[in-house]
Chains A and B, each alone.
Chain A
């Protein structure tokens, strides 16, 4: 039931105690998930405006100007807890939810990305979760014809018992077709289109009130939604066709807190009230109470505001697509959210109280005690083996077993495919959309502020090597229990770091999602801080986007950026069991300049291949560039003070490898930016030497090491 303090506030404001239906609505809308109660003050620190931002945070998705009349819709969501309980349906409906956020803006979804976080694949349960979460995303995304073009998969003990499923979706629309969730006019009718409403997903946003649900046998139902991608595909087409008629005045998809959430927020944004007739909602089963109808999270439903004279036309489009549809109420001048059922008023609440009344607050936060950073391990005797160990670590290994299951080419836009630093999609007139996602939990664990900053710098570099400048980011902030001051400190620091980096790089934060309470009772663990992001950018000419593999025998290999003794949080330490040793890499002041310089050089057309240097360090980056031809690399001059393992495995930020046959031009363009020319393309091996070592890895050895995840899954 409602917390005592909330009930007190509501009773005071309403002048009476809310009835049980009303309490249910408040319980769900005032939940952490819907109202960002303990995160709102921190999220306000983000800079959310920019030249290209047409609609920032607060609607179903953000709208960003692409150019030439095209706009992009972007959103990011988590579906963490459901994916643990039912991995296939949990992850599938996560895809469905974010896709509806995009279509409800009037945009056609053109791409998905999935950053995923799992426990290590050495237990049957973690394997089961991994296999079925991936399958759920594939099953849903493939069926609706939206390509999954990128993602990340990261493995750590703390995700056992609480895997994370984050989803980014991007849509494309003409600017004039955009609709928002802001209700327009009293007297407009509300039309609910899509699936029927059932008892699945009852109270997903909060926890359904047992008292209310007992009579309705709700406790026997799982609160997991079941996805129906076929209906979703029909809903995509029906929604876009309906919006295309110009008859949709406002629109919102039904997600967390179901009909109560979507409809009240629509009314509230338009400073209007609403009268809903719950009996008009088309139900999947008999005997549902008005409370259940209002908060059901049945999937694949969308709500349109339509002028009375256009209702029939909207219903006809739904019929063409064999979807259910009914007129369920209207907007009113009276600023109340009113629900009628069987001829009686069952709820009558001030709409603003319901949608905006939840008190928000910052929680106490405490920095952890100064950590013992431990000793640096000895230089490994066999550096070649150390490189191979990193390449075969599941965090670094090829993810082709995952993305091969995703239809990443449908809609024929995918120019740069999964496995690349960033996906590149062709949009119009030779211009492309570059997309990258993820974060580095190893870094954020040691230092959530620097890790938060590094998250954006790394994603920006992923775009930069494609010649693309970041234009907007969305986030999915996954953390443990915010009531713990140490966790709240992580949460706050990561937000501040991310926000500072976003300002430094002039990239607005346009939306996102907060997922708290990611803890496992089973394992007694809280997840490592996971401030995952999705970043989009524009590349002006898709024809000049360089590849990721070494090419052009004799071409020069240039390492751009500075390498420091920064092994803390690295994959090198992680696989040695030294996860808590050392300090996380710092983002230095010149990072934005380095990113800009890389973009300019790529756009000049003088680069044949480029790759970001991040997880696994320089060694992993070089190995990942080996496909049909190798390279001869000498790192002696990268830094005089560093040990070979520092240079090979450090994860210092703002670095990239450029391959060019126009070395002098590229060096001139680099100007003051630090760089080292480290070798040439050629040969059948990756040959790396330094002052104290000389190793050689064959293509076969690299491919073998990088295929560890695929092999594990296919055996």
Chain B
């Protein structure tokens, strides 16, 4: 089993994800430069964080229109797990693989800090190793993480339990004070309708080893690997 890590010009968390998958989780993973088109040999994909194309037009907008994204869509259609982290989340919403959009943070500056997340569903290839309602620590680092969806989409997402993570305080309460970017309903990560595509603004690869302050994030990758193994 090999997981693809999609590399665009400007991706900058690609090597971090590679390290966590290979050295911490212990699974095969490979960097795939965006000019490649065929992803058939991979069982899953991670679109890492960074600034694809410098975020010059709009975060994720240019990357979402590259041919490799057609291959990522194909993977998703085939039921393979696809995780987009930070800029990867932005690319997934821009390409229509996930609902909603990520606007500029309410306080319009880049924000890099630790956050607490509440696991909202364990019914997904990325969250099965958690307990529902569990509070975990995973840091954020972004300027455009303010999740927005229209009312109907949002209520549908809530009904189908497509919200994966919310920003909470350390006791698990959703409050405005701990919402770092103004996201609706403190949403930090979401799933698609088929639940095999997840996008999240926090960086699980930065919380996968205790020396870095938290290893809660590694369970997202472990969940993904277990899902692939059981397919």
CB of A407 within 8 A of CB of B9, answer: no
- Report B105-140 CB contacts with A as 1/0, cut-off 8 Å: 001011111000000000000000000000000010
CB of B141 within 8 A of CB of A409, answer: yes
Known contacts A144-B12, A230-B51; is-contact A320 B112 (Cβ 8 Å) = no
A406 CB contact (under 8 Å) in B16, B50, B112, B203: B112
- Report B26-52 CB contacts with A as 1/0, cut-off 8 Å: 000000010100000000000001110
> Does A354 count as interface, using CB distance less than 8 angstroms?
no
- Report A379-415 CB contacts with B as 1/0, cut-off 8 Å: 0000000000000000000000001111111111011
Tell me which residues across on chain B come within 8 A of A405, comparing CB atoms.
Answer: 109-112
Tell me which residues across on chain B come within 8 A of A230, comparing CB atoms.
Answer: 9-10, 51, 53-54, 56
> Does A427 count as interface, using CB distance less than 8 angstroms?
no
Tell me which residues across on chain A come within 8 A of B113, comparing CB atoms.
Answer: 404
Q: Give residues of chain B (173-231) contacting chain A, Cβ–Cβ below 8 Å.
A: 203, 205-206, 208-209, 211-212
**Cα–Cα, bound, A412→B24 (Å):** 13
B16 CB contact (under 8 Å) in A142, A228, A412, A542: A412
CB of A714 within 8 A of CB of B16, answer: no
> Does B65 count as interface, using CB distance less than 8 angstroms?
no
CB of B141 within 8 A of CB of A411, answer: no
Tell me which residues across on chain B come within 8 A of A412, comparing CB atoms.
Answer: 16, 19-20, 205-206, 208-209, 212
> Does A362 count as interface, using CB distance less than 8 angstroms?
no
CB of B203 within 8 A of CB of A409, answer: yes
Quick one: closest B residue to A405, CB to CB?
B110
> Does A179 count as interface, using CB distance less than 8 angstroms?
no
> Does B169 count as interface, using CB distance less than 8 angstroms?
no
Tell me which residues across on chain A come within 8 A of B35, comparing CB atoms.
Answer: 320
CB B115 to nearest CB in A, in angstroms, measures 12
> Does A333 count as interface, using CB distance less than 8 angstroms?
no
**Cα–Cα, bound, A142→B205 (Å):** 17
**Cα–Cα, bound, A321→B50 (Å):** 16
CB of A233 within 8 A of CB of B51, answer: yes
CB A699 to nearest CB in B, in angstroms, measures 16
* Central interface residue in B9, B15, B107, B112, by most chain A CB within 10 Å: B112
> Does B98 count as interface, using CB distance less than 8 angstroms?
no
Q: Give residues of chain A (151-177) contacting chain B, Cβ–Cβ below 8 Å.
A: none
B51 CB contact (under 8 Å) in A229, A322, A404, A411: A229
> Does A316 count as interface, using CB distance less than 8 angstroms?
no
Quick one: closest B residue to A403, CB to CB?
B112
Known contacts A233-B10, A405-B109, A426-B211; is-contact A410 B141 (Cβ 8 Å) = yes
Tell me which residues across on chain B come within 8 A of A320, comparing CB atoms.
Answer: 33, 35
> Does A456 count as interface, using CB distance less than 8 angstroms?
no
Tell me which residues across on chain B come within 8 A of A139, comparing CB atoms.
Answer: 110
CB B199 to nearest CB in A, in angstroms, measures 19
> Does A234 count as interface, using CB distance less than 8 angstroms?
yes
CB of A322 within 8 A of CB of B9, answer: yes
Interface size on B, residues (CB 8 A): 32
CB of B12 within 8 A of CB of A404, answer: no
> Does A265 count as interface, using CB distance less than 8 angstroms?
no
> Does A135 count as interface, using CB distance less than 8 angstroms?
yes
Quick one: closest A residue to B50, CB to CB?
A145
> Does A1 count as interface, using CB distance less than 8 angstroms?
no
Known contacts A230-B51, A409-B139, A410-B141; is-contact A145 B13 (Cβ 8 Å) = yes
CB B163 to nearest CB in A, in angstroms, measures 25
> Does A637 count as interface, using CB distance less than 8 angstroms?
no
Quick one: closest B residue to A142, CB to CB?
B110
**Cα–Cα, bound, A135→B49 (Å):** 20
Known contacts A405-B109, A406-B112, A426-B211; is-contact A145 B12 (Cβ 8 Å) = yes
**Cα–Cα, bound, A686→B122 (Å):** 43
CB B77 to nearest CB in A, in angstroms, measures 29
> Does B70 count as interface, using CB distance less than 8 angstroms?
no
CB B160 to nearest CB in A, in angstroms, measures 33
A411 CB contact (under 8 Å) in B15, B54, B110: B15
Tell me which residues across on chain B come within 8 A of A135, comparing CB atoms.
Answer: 109
Quick one: closest B residue to A138, CB to CB?
B110
> Does A2 count as interface, using CB distance less than 8 angstroms?
no
CB B94 to nearest CB in A, in angstroms, measures 17
Tell me which residues across on chain B come within 8 A of A229, comparing CB atoms.
Answer: 51, 54
Quick one: closest B residue to A414, CB to CB?
B212
A233 CB contact (under 8 Å) in B12, B19, B33, B141: B12
CB of A143 within 8 A of CB of B51, answer: yes
Tell me which residues across on chain B come within 8 A of A714, comparing CB atoms.
Answer: 107
**Cα–Cα, bound, A542→B13 (Å):** 23
B211 CB contact (under 8 Å) in A143, A403, A404, A543: A543
**Cα–Cα, bound, A548→B9 (Å):** 38
Tell me which residues across on chain A come within 8 A of B51, comparing CB atoms.
Answer: 142-143, 145, 229-230, 233
**17 sample A-B contacts, Cβ–Cβ < 8 Å, listed by A number:** A138-B110, A142-B110, A230-B9, A230-B51, A230-B53, A230-B54, A234-B10, A405-B112, A409-B139, A409-B212, A410-B13, A411-B16, A412-B19, A412-B20, A412-B209, A542-B211, A543-B211
Query: Top 8 closest A-B pairs, CB basis?
Result: A145-B12, A230-B54, A143-B51, A407-B141, A412-B16, A405-B110, A407-B112, A409-B206
With A412-B212, A542-B211 given, name 17 new contacts (CB 8 A): A138-B109, A143-B12, A143-B54, A229-B54, A231-B54, A233-B9, A233-B54, A321-B9, A404-B109, A404-B111, A405-B110, A405-B111, A406-B110, A410-B16, A410-B141, A412-B19, A714-B107
